[in-house]
Amino acid sequence: MSKPNGKSAAKPVRNSQRGLVIWHGMRMREFAKLVNVGAELHWSQLHRILPTLFMTAHNSIWYQVEQLRMKRKLEQTEVQPPIFVLGHWRSGTTFLHNLMTLDDRFTYPNLYQCIFPHHFLTTEKAMAGLTSFMVPKKRPMDNMQTGWKLPQEDEIALLLMTTYSPYRNLAFQGYRERYEKYFDFKEAPQEERDEWKRALMTLVKKLTIRNNKPVVLKSPGHTYRIEILRELFPDAKFVYIYRHPYDVIRSTIHLRGVMFQSNALGRLNLQSNEELIFEAYEQCIKTYEQDKKQIPEGHLYEVKYEELEKDPVGHMRAVYEGLDFPDFNVVQPKIEQYVAGQKEYKKNVFATDPHLAEVVNNRMKFVLDAYGYDPVA
């Protein structure tokens, strides 16, 4: 149970990722960038640090190979306006992304492409099959199916390409000042903002080279970034999913514990964990509600997770109609089949935390009011 002083009393979450950690896709350049600004490393994590160092050399070499092969083609590639799935972590973004990417008239980044953004055009066909044993069958935080070929959030790729991401927190546990400017980039130096924009455009171009279709991107981090995304892609479309704040925050606490346990390169530190989550959630909702006013009519559709869960087909039809996507009837059978296959999926269930309920009912009341949710009983 949470402590009233805001410090998490949660115990470390134990799980297996079969040796795969998020840093395995990083080049030497980005790893050195993290170390130079004080990334937390500890000898107890040598089983992660040493393979990461090996992989940084591997990725640096293959990056150069890919640059030689693809630089001109990347410069010449035109991209179609992408589709962004928005929503705070644990709001149902993965479920929505999975539904949207069933439509083969769209394309998306998969796990291999997000872990190895520097060279997937060159290495994926050969290496994905050879390394599939490294990938767990289910995500440790929520038991959802995973694999190299399945849809993944592009935030991982952007972290590995630039280090400018909220996921930088895995290298700076408890120090929000080391990564907070990379939620919305509004206070980030212009050179960092420009580097991040180039990385996202490069990623979208690479995905377009692989499959010349509109790219469906899902990253909770993008919920803070409507302004910068519209600078890059003025004709982009957005689908925003929201969920009861208690469920979101409770699940995010679990997620954060799992991610730190699985990927930290320093000693595990969950002190002030909950307060950092509260701050990020407040910023997310306030920033989105303010910046969504910039999106033209017909380019944004909002969906309530609880309603999407009850009637996925009906609400996906509404998404397609609201954003003027291609004929929904073409993809409806695939969505029905996917939904039928999810009936045995079991979500994590957590006992109600009185302290967290109080935080939601009071501190997050503005969210309850904005989205029409009842307080936690």
- Helices 93-100, 312-322: crossing angle, 10 deg rounding: 70
pTM greater than 0.85 (yes/no): yes
pLDDT value for 4: 37
- Bridge-based pairing state of the strands 83-86 and 237-242: parallel
Q: Per-block average pLDDT, block size 10, for the chain (377 residues)? A: 39 51 95 93 92 96 97 96 97 96 97 96 86 63 70 96 95 84 96 98 98 97 97 98 97 88 85 88 97 97 97 98 97 95 68 90 97 95
3-state secondary structure of 272: coil
pLDDT value for 15: 43
261-295 b/e (C-beta count within 10 Å ≥ 16 → b): bbbbbbebebebbbbbbbebbebbbebbeebeeeb
3-state secondary structure of 344: coil
299: nearest Cα among 335, 327, 324? 324
Calpha distance 357→364 (Å, rounded): 10
Contact of 168 with 179, CB cutoff 8 Å: yes
Q: What is the pLDDT of residues 173-188, one digit of tens each?
A: 867 888 999 999 999 9
pLDDT value for 5: 40
Write the burial class of residue 341 (CB in 10 Å: 0-12 exposed, 13-18 middle, 19+ buried): exposed
Calpha distance 96→103 (Å, rounded): 12
Q: Using only C-alpha atoms, what is the Rg of the chain?
A: 20
Calpha distance 16→133 (Å, rounded): 12
pLDDT value for 144: 61
